A = this chain, B = another copy of it.
């Protein structure tokens, strides 16, 4: 066993050792760097992930069905004090944080400078964290938590410097899903290299953040025909405004026959189908809507492995099925550049931001 590890194994307090930080019950969150490749961050804001915040707010509901902010704050403090990380023990999930770089180990590969304002792109569920302010600036009523304290990044952590030219809120929304456009760009590039021709690309759930960015990435990489599938006319209008699809169609992505027909009528089937629909049951429809020899990439966390594997076999579909990886080298820069360079994409994220501000009390 090495004394330190780019995966952070040396910060795991559970015994026997050898467990990864995400699986561990308790981490050592002491502020001193314990490895040459560690980085310490002064924490400014925690963004709890949606599943975790929903669980906590349901568990701490007071009178009149109102969230008991005080109890919720104490619950978060207790978790962090006990575990040395903000990992919801029920959902297992974490979230991300924003902070400023305080110290950088001599051999850190993350490319950060002291003073950089960064967002962490690996989960809080594996990030050593210590809180020093009792979260007094947080009312417990939203998943955005003003906080003071410190966090530790490892050699294989991922953090992105917040860009000075974009609102932080837009940058965070983009970085949250930046694995999707990076992978779509790579798959379109690969298809062009291998076949000498540009692929058609179909995105299911095209109105969401990852959907719009996937369409834009496909466009920049040279896809020749992009089909956006959405669930209703309101979404269709928004996707059409973004200007990143040659065809926008309304169809139920859970209905195999309807979907395949709708995609075919819109110029499909596509050589690359990107599933961004966050509801179960889209596996076999996506497979059937894809050209023989094509590729389906699943970014929805609602994807069921067996449904995809058996779904392809059951209809003798020769498709390559890929599990969407949230990480790729340079993924944040790729996504942010799409937002900067493609006005329709930027407008879609600005609209989402103002909607969120309107509907979130």
Pick from B126, B258, B318: contact of A327, CB below 8 A.
Answer: B318
Distance in angstroms between the alpha carbons of A229 and B99 in the assembled complex = 42
Contacts of A314 on B, CB cut-off 8 Å? Answer: 20, 22, 122-123, 125-126
- Closest chain B CB from A95 CB (angstroms): 13
Pick from B20, B298, B318, B327: contact of A305, CB below 8 A.
Answer: B298
Pick from B20, B194, B306: contact of A301, CB below 8 A.
Answer: B306
Copies of this subunit: 2
Pick from B22, B122, B123, B257: contact of A9, CB below 8 A.
Answer: B257
Contact with B along A153-179 (1 / 0, CB 8 A): 000111000000000000000000001
Check A320 against B312 for contact (C-beta < 8 Å): no
In the complex, whether A7 has a CB less than 8 A from a CB of chain B is: yes
Q: A301-B306, A305-B305 are in contact. Are A327 and B322 (CB under 8 A)?
A: no
Contacts of A306 on B, CB cut-off 8 Å? Answer: 301
Contacts of A111 on B, CB cut-off 8 Å? Answer: none
In the complex, whether A29 has a CB less than 8 A from a CB of chain B is: no
Contact with B along A180-208 (1 / 0, CB 8 A): 00000000000000100000000000000
Contacts of A279 on B, CB cut-off 8 Å? Answer: none
In the complex, whether A18 has a CB less than 8 A from a CB of chain B is: yes
Contact with B along A292-312 (1 / 0, CB 8 A): 000000100101111011101
Contact with B along A233-272 (1 / 0, CB 8 A): 0000000000000000000000111100000000000000
Pick from B22, B157, B323: contact of A316, CB below 8 A.
Answer: B157
- Closest chain B CB from A37 CB (angstroms): 12
Distance in angstroms between the alpha carbons of A319 and B258 in the assembled complex = 34
In the complex, whether A326 has a CB less than 8 A from a CB of chain B is: yes
Distance in angstroms between the alpha carbons of A322 and B324 in the assembled complex = 9
Pick from B158, B309, B323, B324: contact of A325, CB below 8 A.
Answer: B309
Q: A325-B320, A327-B318, A329-B318 are in contact. Are A309 and B313 (CB under 8 A)?
A: no
Contacts of A7 on B, CB cut-off 8 Å? Answer: 288, 315
Check B321 against A158 for contact (C-beta < 8 Å): no
CB-CB contacts below 8 Å: A98-142 with B: 122-123, 125-126
- Closest chain B CB from A233 CB (angstroms): 22
Q: A301-B306, A322-B323, A324-B309 are in contact. Are A255 and B315 (CB under 8 A)?
A: no
Q: A122-B314, A305-B304 are in contact. Are A20 and B256 (CB under 8 A)?
A: yes
A residues touching B (Cβ–Cβ < 8 Å)? 1, 7, 9, 18, 20, 22, 122-123, 125-126, 156-158, 179, 194, 255-258, 284, 288, 298, 301, 303-306, 308-310, 312-329
Given pairs A7-B288, A322-B322, 12 additional interface contacts (CB within 8 A)? A20-B284, A22-B310, A126-B314, A179-B313, A305-B305, A305-B308, A308-B323, A309-B324, A312-B326, A313-B325, A318-B325, A322-B323
